[in-house]
Amino acid sequence: MRISIIGIGSWGTALAIHLIKNGHQVTIYGRLEDNIVQINNDKVHPFLPGIVIPDELKITGDLKEACNNEYLVLAVPSQYIRDVVKKMYRAGFGKKTIINVAKGIEIETGLRMSEVVAEVTKSEYEYCVLSGPTHAEEVAKGLPAAIVAASENIELAELVQQIFNNESLRVYTNDDTLGVELGGSFKNVVAIASGIVDGLEFGDNAKASLITRGLYEMKQLGRKLGANPETFNGLTGIGDLMVTCMSKHSRNRGFGEKIGKGFKSSDILKSSDMVTEGVYAAKAFYLLSKKLNLDLPINEEVYKCIYENKAPLDCFKDLMTREMKMERE
């Protein structure tokens, strides 16, 4: 297959390396000329230390050239998806297959990435989301992992499964695009809360409880919006929650840990070159929960920590002293 990765970050580059191992012809698009030159010359990525970039990987700064391929993998942060797809459309989008790997919700509209793409293109295209517990560093190294290809067109999901599946990355299919996208977005908020637990040194009991109740909120949101609740018991629900909430590689968990240690969210964001999706998701889900009249207490406290500078200890006190209820409420 001739495949283009739109976005030269760590995840897009890791997937490019993976696809080349599968025998595909891969082009990766980057916006910044300096990054392209550096990676081309040094054959290393600044966010993937120790990983050699294959000579077969074609790197370009020409979006029109990248859009010539039939399969386009969107690997840019969620808040940039709209602008990037607009530019792709102007560059000669045509009838393409879009495989989205960005995990997020658009703040201004509350739309999922599939909805953003549909709103921008207003044309014929095939859409599949690829999501699951997969850190870029490990996928680039070829360490074992599993992921989900989800599309309302199950035949497309099966095609994406064939393109990406190999002995180091097992790909499952799902027809619940809504649930997969929600799980991949909401878990980042729970991961920030989990990092705050680490920063406050609250221990394993608190972290396990938080992750479990975070899963409950994810399911409540999914039910309200019409997702299949079983989706959240799978790789893009429990699986992604586990890896993002516990891993040393998780930038969302790491962000939360710094908040727990007393750093301000604005200062943390200024000091990082990488996007922390949970920061944007917390706001998007907060606004959506008010619109839907839905109680998402963990998300609400994360939002208040980030955007209202509420003290982390006060957030957890308010979570622990909420009205008593049955577990399934």
Active-site positions? 187
24 Cβ neighbours under 8 A, 6+ residues apart: 1, 2, 3, 163
Backbone angles phi, psi at 294, to 5 degrees: -115, 135
Cβ 217 vs Cβ 159: under 8 Å: no
Nearest to 72 by CA among 136, 23, 26, 38: 26
Residue 161 has which token pair? Answer: 């499964």
Residue 73 has which token pair? Answer: 């993998």
Residue 285 has which token pair? Answer: 């889900």
Neighbours of 308 (CB within 10 A): 9
Beta bridge partners of 172: 148
Helix crossing, 177-200 with 204-225: angle to 10°?
160
In angstroms, what CA-CA distances link 82 with 112, 118, 152, 227?
A: 11, 10, 21, 23
Nearest to 300 by CA among 290, 314, 312, 286: 286
d(CA 89, CA 64): 9
> Strands 97-100, 2-6: parallel, antiparallel or unpaired by DSSP?
unpaired
